[in-house]
Structure 1
Amino acid sequence: MNVFILLILGTGHLHTLSAAFHSLKHTCTAVSGDTHLPEFTALGLLDNVQFAYFDSHAKIAIPKTEWIKKEGSYYWDSLTQIAIDAHQRLKFYLQRTKDVFNQSMSTGVHTLQLMGGCVWDDETGVTEEYMQLGFDGEDFISFDLEKLTWIPSKPQAVFIKNLLDNNKADNKYWKHYLTQECIDSLKNFLDYGKSSLMRTVPPSVSLLQKTPSSPVTCHATGFYPSKVIVIWEKDGEEQHEDVEMEDTLQNVDGTFQKRIHLTVTPEEWKNNKYQCVVKVSGIKEDFIKVLTEDQIQTNWGVNDQTSTIIGVVVTLLAIVAAVIGVVIWKKKQESFLVASDGASKSSNNSTPVE
């Protein structure tokens, strides 16, 4: 898989980032089995930001960003019809694929996903296009634009190759779409959304740890765009061992977050210089957080501190209650004495009954 595809899918760990790369991607996913998910969903993404959505429940394509609303009703009607057609095709291909794998009677969840799109470098003008199908998260079959044929990644995908290659007109259309229409749409969409898509927002970087023996997590959040590199360095060298990277996730405000975990003992990081380095596309500055004890945010001892605080409060309340009790007791005693004294005087001054 080349650099362009890695950029689109977000699976590439590149050491340099360029704001010049832009991508337009469409994904269609058919699902079978016992799941609450719609049977079919389709997404449109520009630079990994979702701008269109369709599912088999609503059966209508809807905008997910303000800038894409500049497209008129003809666009949304066309997108809806394309998604409906893709739903029927992928549903059929998924069932046939399950048959080939002898999983037609399986109650488990299975997916067939179509991914197609293009990448454009706005500095060099270089473009790259792709279209592929994946079954249960693995490569299944891909489209060769030069030879206008489908290439199976697994022998079970030969039946799809035969079905697709028999329709030569469709294969020619896919090449035209990917190399021309996709690039044109990408440029138009970038122009629509440039105020938000071309912006850059620096990350907030934190070091998190649950307990002294837990991995140290470098958490970068609030950054934009999504193209980011987050690495751990030891004494200036990138650390690969004992490092676990999570996927980049989108926040509700449209920015992104990413986590990378480092398993290291306190003795090790105290005797060496460990630091988390974050690089965001379009921002020249690197964001660095050095691993030191005062930089770690943690919940260590919170329960103990809470218990101590609660104990102190309970003790104080007990003391206050005791003082209040003594005061009340004294007042009652005084009241009793006054009452007794009054009763005695009343008894002494009373006239005997004849």
Structure 2
Amino acid sequence: MVTSKDKNNKDENFFSSYDAVKYSLKYFLTATSGLPDFPEFVASALVNGVQVGYCDSNIRTAEPTQDWMKKLVKDDPQHLDWYSEKCFGNQQVFRANIDSLKQRLNQTRGPCILQRMNGCEWDDETEEIKGFNQYGYNGEDFIALDLQTLTWIAPKPQAVITKLKWDAEKARLEHNKNYYINRCPDWLKKYVKYGRSFLQRSVLPSVSLLQRSPSSVVSCHATGFYPHRARMFWRKDEEEFHDGVDKGQILPNHDGSFQMSVQLNLSSIKPEDWSRYDCVYQFAGAETDIITKLEKKVIQTNSEFPVGPVVGAAVGVSLLLAIFGFFIWKRNKHHGFVKIETCSVAADWRGGSFLEERY
């Protein structure tokens, strides 16, 4: 592994999209039906992609998950009480929503998943504020709020009836506007004040080449970095390429850092050509890239690499519950849902406004 300056391959558009927003507060609320051994309701609060609070239908209360957040709720106990109350309230509402959806859609088999992702973003340099609130069902966009026009957007015909009803609820729309433009940013600024040293730190990753067997793909894995403004790719002869490459998403570790990987299929690469390939990790704001040459001697096999830190940190049971939304939420600038295979239905969408909101 070597570290070298390599600005020519920097994707400035990619990093500028991250730099435009300094801080974000996002709430992921997920209700499920038909998933054994999984809570019916899970909610997570994240600041800049790091989980700071968590609750589910089993523990029935909100819990801070970062030391600086624990200090905040110690100074302001009512803050945690508010979260616990809303957690319980949303649990009841989402449970009713799931039951209603199953009836309306005549569910025949399989699990169902209803999600809401809402929150705000704040640029502490320009003071620009953006709010967002959208729902998805079974991994697909269902309805989203446009705060500029104070109207709901229905990307699917099945949601038009709900849109028309919600658009007519003017008091509720004004409540949404006030919450996302005023209250949510105020809370985000408070969180940033308490967690500034944590949120503004910069940590480079440990990068390794991993392979489960001599015939399997090689995974270039970076873990322990913060913040999540990073990208990885494979190069051939110092040029980025995509054939036989599978890019993974950035996932959180248990300690508030992040991990990501990019896989390379070796089936069409001759051993004598390995020296032409390398893996590149780029970090926003960093002058240097971390470059890892494709060499047999540096590849850790299934028996060598530490399964706990690399895999366990991301898929441990407790963390899986906490970040459930990440696995069916498309992690891109559009904040969209990605379709998943869940419940099968035998009827078209019917009815009106089955969804309710609690803040």
Given that 2:69 and 2:191 are in contact with CA atoms closer than 8 Å, whether structure 1 keeps it comes out as: yes
* 1:27 matched residue in structure 2: 28
How many angstroms does 1:162 deviate by? 4.3
Deviation string, structure 1 residues 98-130 (Cα, Å, up to 9, x no partner) = 333321xx3421011010012223333333221
Given that 1:270 and 1:292 are in contact with CA atoms closer than 8 Å, whether structure 2 keeps it comes out as: no
Helix, strand or coil: the match of 2:180?
Answer: helix
* Letter paired with 1:232: W
Given that 1:269 and 1:291 are in contact with CA atoms closer than 8 Å, whether structure 2 keeps it comes out as: no
Helix, strand or coil: the match of 1:193?
Answer: helix
Helix, strand or coil: the match of 1:161?
Answer: helix
Given that 2:201 and 2:226 are in contact with CA atoms closer than 8 Å, whether structure 1 keeps it comes out as: yes
* Letter paired with 2:224: G
Q: Name the count of aligned residue pairs.
A: 287
* 1:102 matched residue in structure 2: 106
Greater CA drift, 244-253 or 139-148: 244-253
How many angstroms does 1:228 deviate by? 1.9
Given that 2:211 and 2:300 are in contact with CA atoms closer than 8 Å, whether structure 1 keeps it comes out as: yes
| Greater share of helix | 1
In 2 relative to 1, CA 268–132 (structure 1 residues): closer, same or farther, beyond 3 Å? farther
200, 218, 221: which one aligns with 2:220? 218
Aligned Cα root-mean-square deviation (Å): 2.5
Deviation string, structure 1 residues 190-230 (Cα, Å, up to 9, x no partner) = 11011212111111111122334321210111111223211
285, 288, 292: which one aligns with 1:285? 288
Residues 1-354 of structure 1 correspond to what in structure 2 (within 5 A)? 14-15=14-15, 17-18=18-19, 21-69=22-70, 70-71=72-73, 72-103=76-107, 106-264=108-266, 265-267=268-270, 270=273, 273-298=276-301
* Letter paired with 1:59: R
In 2 relative to 1, CA 139–233 (structure 1 residues): closer, same or farther, beyond 3 Å? same
Q: Which runs of 5+ in 1 are unaligned?
A: 1-12, 302-354
Given that 1:29 and 1:41 are in contact with CA atoms closer than 8 Å, whether structure 2 keeps it comes out as: yes
Given that 1:18 and 1:282 are in contact with CA atoms closer than 8 Å, whether structure 2 keeps it comes out as: no
Q: Which runs of 5+ in 2 are unaligned?
A: 1-12, 305-359
Question: d(CA) in 2 for partners of 1:203 and 1:280?
Answer: 9
TM-score normalized with structure 1 length: 0.74
Question: d(CA) in 1 for partners of 2:61 and 2:274?
Answer: 59
Find the structure with the greater CA-based Rg.
1
Given that 1:24 and 1:45 are in contact with CA atoms closer than 8 Å, whether structure 2 keeps it comes out as: yes
* Letter paired with 2:83: L
How many angstroms does 1:135 deviate by? 0.4
Give aligned-pair identity as a percent: 40
TM-score normalized with structure 2 length: 0.73
Given that 1:93 and 1:160 are in contact with CA atoms closer than 8 Å, whether structure 2 keeps it comes out as: no
* Letter paired with 1:96: S
Question: d(CA) in 1 for partners of 2:164 and 2:31?
Answer: 20
Given that 2:275 and 2:294 are in contact with CA atoms closer than 8 Å, whether structure 1 keeps it comes out as: no
How many angstroms does 1:186 deviate by? 1.5
In 2 relative to 1, CA 238–119 (structure 1 residues): closer, same or farther, beyond 3 Å? farther
Given that 2:41 and 2:57 are in contact with CA atoms closer than 8 Å, whether structure 1 keeps it comes out as: yes
Question: d(CA) in 1 for partners of 2:197 and 2:15?
Answer: 27
In 2 relative to 1, CA 269–133 (structure 1 residues): closer, same or farther, beyond 3 Å? farther
